[in-house]
Structure formats: structure tokens, C-alpha cells
Amino acid sequence: MDAAELLGIFEAERDRGLALVAGAATLDDLEAAQVEVIGRKSAFSAAQKSLGGLSDEDRRVAGKAANEARQAIQGAIDERREALQLVAGAALLEADRIDLTLPGRRPRTGSLHPLTIVEREIVEVFLRLGFRVVEGPEIEDDWHNFQALNIPPDHPARTMKDTIYPAIPGRADLVLRTETSAAQIRTMQSQPPPVHIVSPGRVYRRETSDATHLPVFHQVECLVVDEGITFAHLKGTLEIVAKALFGQSRRIRLGPAYFPFVEPGAEVGVSCFKCDGAGCRVCGNGWIELLGSGMVHPQVLENCGYDSERYTGFAFGMGVERFAMLRYGVTDLRAFFENDLAFLRQFA
């Protein structure tokens, strides 16, 4: 190819290149235009390579023209790239724009579990009466859970409240506590009378679940020990607690019951909140059996180092789930442990 032909190519490619660059609407278009017009395989580059075949004078003139054309194209590309980058940046900002005037999304807050609400409510009543809250361990030893409570190893009451024995090497004496009464023992061991405590917590029994029984449930235990404590104090306290929890018009009734750690022992019923003792679907016979109670057995006081000739006491233990069941009209205790959010949110 002679110099004139090459000059023609450089000029034509420059014009074609400038037009392509000007028409590039995106950075990708621009990239393609650059490859096409001045890329290694372009007509322009091929023409530039053949400059070598020209005479010195022609090569100088045509080479200069080639460089100028290439610079013009490259300059146009750089300019266009800058402009397109601005556009792309603005588009990105636009796409990412946050509308600060939109209302915020409120995070969903949790709420207390109904059993926690009820347990606190029960404990609150005792706090108002001047009781102190104590908590005992859920893994107890046989002595605190059974023996100190007047339930020796061969006592039939063990079968009524059989439990789960954790497999801890070398500690065959450990049991998951069957009732919060073990907290009585620990409290009496740790302090002299008078005692006014309430002890909430989880308990375990080898029990098959049904609508009113669970193998894991909660109790709140109450214990009072002092000089001159009588059954009248027990009944009076139960009345106050029942009225505080179920309403001022509630009545209580006591029936004989056996617990090895009290003498005498009583099962306590509360007149039904629904039918006021007439009998209905909730209670059956007008009364709701809620808790076990009694005068602390002298042997239990002695087991804890208290002088049973000088001190007497009463204790009772109530089921938190049973109370929650009555409070909320829940017909099956298992609902409290199924973690069904639709159920739980009702208590929020």
C-alpha cells in the first residue's frame, strides 16, 4: 500500500472511530468501539503496521498522520468514558436511593412467656406480704429432695413422685427435683428462724403428659417458720393469696391430704372463678384444686437443725401451669410448651 492509501485509511478510520465513540451509549459500547477501531486486529492497526514498507519521507508523513488520528480517537474515547462513568455513577445512586421520608420498620419485640407472667404475679403477692424469694438448684441430691423431707429411701411416697436421675459419674445420689420443697430445706439449713420465703422454680417428675399433667412444670413454694405459727396462719395466708390472685370474692376450702413432710397436710381448692362454686365445665364440682399445703413436720424441722419444740411452721406449694390454665382459660397445659407463636403472642 502506498502513502496516499494509508493516509486515506487513517483519516477514514478516525472519522468512523469518532462517530462510533460519540454514539456509544454505555461503557460496554465504548469498549467495543475501542477494540473495533484501534484494537490490535483493527484496520487502523493493520495500516499502521504496513508503514514500515514506505520510503523514509512517506513514512514520516503517514506515521505522523497515524499518530494524530490515533490520539484523536483515544482522546475522544477517554472523554466519552469519563462522561459515561458519571452517568453510570448517577444511575447507581439513583437506584440505591433511600427514601428517608418512609416510616421506619418497627422491629418485632418479644414478650414474656405466659408462665413467666403468672409466676411473677404469684411471687409479687408474696413480696407484698414481706416474703423473701429464694431459688434452689434444679439438680438436687437425694437427701434434700427426699430424705430431709421425711421420705427415706424405702418410702412409698418416692413412687408417687419418681423422677429423672441424671447420669453423673460418682453422683448416683443426684435427682432432678420433684418439687420446690427442697428449697425449704436449703433455706432452713442456711439461716435460723424466723423464715418467710417463697421459692419459684422448675420441677421434674416421671409423668406422662396429658391435659393437666406435665413431666416438667413449675411450682411456687411458700414456707414460714417461727415461734407460735399455727394452722390459722396457714389458712389466713392462703386466703389472702387466693383473693389476690383470683379476686376478692374467692373462697378457699381445705381437704385432708398426705405429704410426708407436713402434719397435718391439706389440699387447697379455690372456688371456681367461672361459676363461683356452683359447678361448671371448667371446674366440675365448683372447686379448683390448686395446691398442697400443711404444717411443717417436726422431723423436717429437726432434720434442718431447728428445735421443733420451740418452732412451728407451715408450707404450701402451688403449680404455676395449673394457675396459668385457670387464669387464661387454657384447656391443655401442653400448649404452654409447644412454642406456637400464634398462641404465645396472645399474652404479649
d(CA 138, CA 124): 22
Amino acid at 10: F
Q: Which is nearer to ligand FA5, 48 or 199 (CB)?
A: 199
Q: Residue 195 CB, nearest distance to ligand FA5 (Å)?
A: 13
Q: Residue 218 CB, nearest distance to ligand FA5 (Å)?
A: 8
Residue 102 DSSP code: S
d(CA 15, CA 64): 17
Q: Which is nearer to ligand FA5, 86 or 211 (CB)?
A: 211
- What is 159-198 written as a DSSP string? HHT-------TT-TTEEE-SSTTHHHHHHHHHSPSPEEEE
Q: Residue 313 CB, nearest distance to ligand FA5 (Å)?
A: 10
Return the C-alpha cell found at 138. Answer: 434444679
SS3 265: strand
Phi, psi of 44 (to 5 degrees): -60, -50
Q: Which is nearer to ligand FA5, 80 or 322 (CB)?
A: 322
Task: Using the structure block, give the residue that is written with the C-alpha cell 503496521.
Answer: 49
Give residues with Cβ within 8 angstroms of 124, minimum separation 6: none
Q: Which is nearer to ligand FA5, 201 or 317 (CB)?
A: 317
Residue with the CB atom nearest ligand FA5 in the bound state: 319
Q: Which is nearer to ligand FA5, 21 or 234 (CB)?
A: 234
d(CA 66, CA 72): 10
Q: Residue 126 CB, nearest distance to ligand FA5 (Å)?
A: 14
Q: Residue 242 CB, nearest distance to ligand FA5 (Å)?
A: 13
Q: Which is nearer to ligand FA5, 81 or 334 (CB)?
A: 334
d(CA 125, CA 130): 9
Burial class (CB in 10 A: 0-12, 13-18, 19+), 195: buried
Q: Residue 339 CB, nearest distance to ligand FA5 (Å)?
A: 18
Phi, psi of 92 (to 5 degrees): -65, -45
Q: Which is nearer to ligand FA5, 74 or 212 (CB)?
A: 212
Decide the pairing of beta strands 287-296 and 312-319: antiparallel
Where along the sequence are the contacts to ligand FA5 (CB under 6 A)? Answer: 179, 181, 205, 207, 213-214, 217, 219, 221, 259, 262, 265, 290-294, 315-319, 321-322, 333
Q: Residue 95 CB, nearest distance to ligand FA5 (Å)?
A: 58
Amino acid at 194: P
